[in-house]
Structure 1
Amino acid sequence: MSQRGDYGDRLDDAFWEVNAAASRFISYGCGVSARHLRDRSLRMQFNRELAYYAKRVVEDVYQRRISPEQGLEAIRAEANSLKSQVNRVFTQVGGMAGGASQLLTGIGSCVRSYGTTCAFHGLPLIAHGGNNFYENARGMYEGRTDVVGPVRKKYQDVAKRLGYGEREGNMAYYATDLVLSGRAIGRMVVKKDAWRLFRYLKTDKEIALKQMGRGALFIEGAASTLTLNQLIEEYKK
Structure 2
Amino acid sequence: MSNDLFESWEVNSFIGTLSSQAVTSAQSIRDPRIRSCFNEHMADFNHSLLKEYENGYKSRDDILFEVEEEIQLLIDQSYIAGSKGIGFIAGIMQVAGGGALCAESVGLLCAIGAPMIAHGANNIYENGDYFINGNENTSGWLREGYREGAKLFGLSESGGDIAYSVADLGLSGYGLFSKTLRPPFIPQFETSKRFKLFHYLTADYVYGYKAMSNTSLAIEGMADIATIKAVSGYSKKD
Which bracket does the TM-score occupy, shorter chain normalised? 0.5 to 0.7
TM-score by structure 2 length?
A: 0.60
1:97 matched to which residue of 2?
Answer: 89
1:232 matched to which residue of 2?
Answer: 232
Unpaired runs of 5+ residues, structure 2, are 1-12, 50-67, 181-211
1:101 is displaced (CA, Å) by 0.5
Whole-angstrom CA distance in 2 between matches of 1:26 and 1:43: 7
The alpha-carbon distance between structure 1 residues 103 and 32, as it changes in their structure 2 partners (threshold 3 A), is same
SS of residue in 2 equivalent to 1:115: coil
The alpha-carbon distance between structure 1 residues 78 and 29, as it changes in their structure 2 partners (threshold 3 A), is same
1:83 is displaced (CA, Å) by 3.2
The alpha-carbon distance between structure 1 residues 80 and 39, as it changes in their structure 2 partners (threshold 3 A), is closer
Unpaired runs of 5+ residues, structure 1, are 1-18, 51-74, 191-211
2:143 matched to which residue of 1?
Answer: 152
Query: How many matched pairs?
Result: 178
- Give 2:171's match in structure 1, choosing from 171, 180, 188: 180
Q: How does 1:20-99 map to 2 (within 5 A)?
A: 27-33=20-26, 35=29, 38-45=37-44, 82-99=74-91
Whole-angstrom CA distance in 1 between matches of 2:133 and 2:83: 14
Paired residue type of 1:108: A
1:221 matched to which residue of 2?
Answer: 221
Whole-angstrom CA distance in 2 between matches of 1:78 and 1:142: 15
Once superposed, what is the RMSD of the aligned Cα atoms? 3.7
The alpha-carbon distance between structure 1 residues 81 and 235, as it changes in their structure 2 partners (threshold 3 A), is farther
The answer to whether the Cα contact below 8 Å between 1:98 and 1:220 also exists between their aligned partners in 2 is yes
The answer to whether the Cα contact below 8 Å between 1:95 and 1:132 also exists between their aligned partners in 2 is yes
SS of residue in 2 equivalent to 1:163: coil
Paired residue type of 2:231: L
1:163 matched to which residue of 2?
Answer: 154
Whole-angstrom CA distance in 1 between matches of 2:78 and 2:133: 15
1:183-223 Cα shifts (integer Å, max 9, x gaps):
22235x69xxxxxxxxxxxxxxxxxxxxx931211221122
Whole-angstrom CA distance in 2 between matches of 1:122 and 1:133: 16
Paired residue type of 1:93: G
Paired residue type of 1:218: A
Q: Stretches of 4+ moved more than 4 A in 1?
A: 23-28, 45-50, 77-82
The answer to whether the Cα contact below 8 Å between 1:33 and 1:47 also exists between their aligned partners in 2 is no
The sequence identity of aligned pairs, in percent, is 31
The alpha-carbon distance between structure 1 residues 81 and 140, as it changes in their structure 2 partners (threshold 3 A), is closer
1:113-172 Cα shifts (integer Å, max 9, x gaps):
1111112x1111011011101111122211011111111110000011111111111111
Q: How does 1:125-140 map to 2 (within 5 A)?
A: 125-140=116-131
- Which structure is higher in RCO with an 8 Å CA cutoff and minimum separation 6? 2
1:124 matched to which residue of 2?
Answer: 115
The alpha-carbon distance between structure 1 residues 128 and 41, as it changes in their structure 2 partners (threshold 3 A), is same
1:107 is displaced (CA, Å) by 0.6
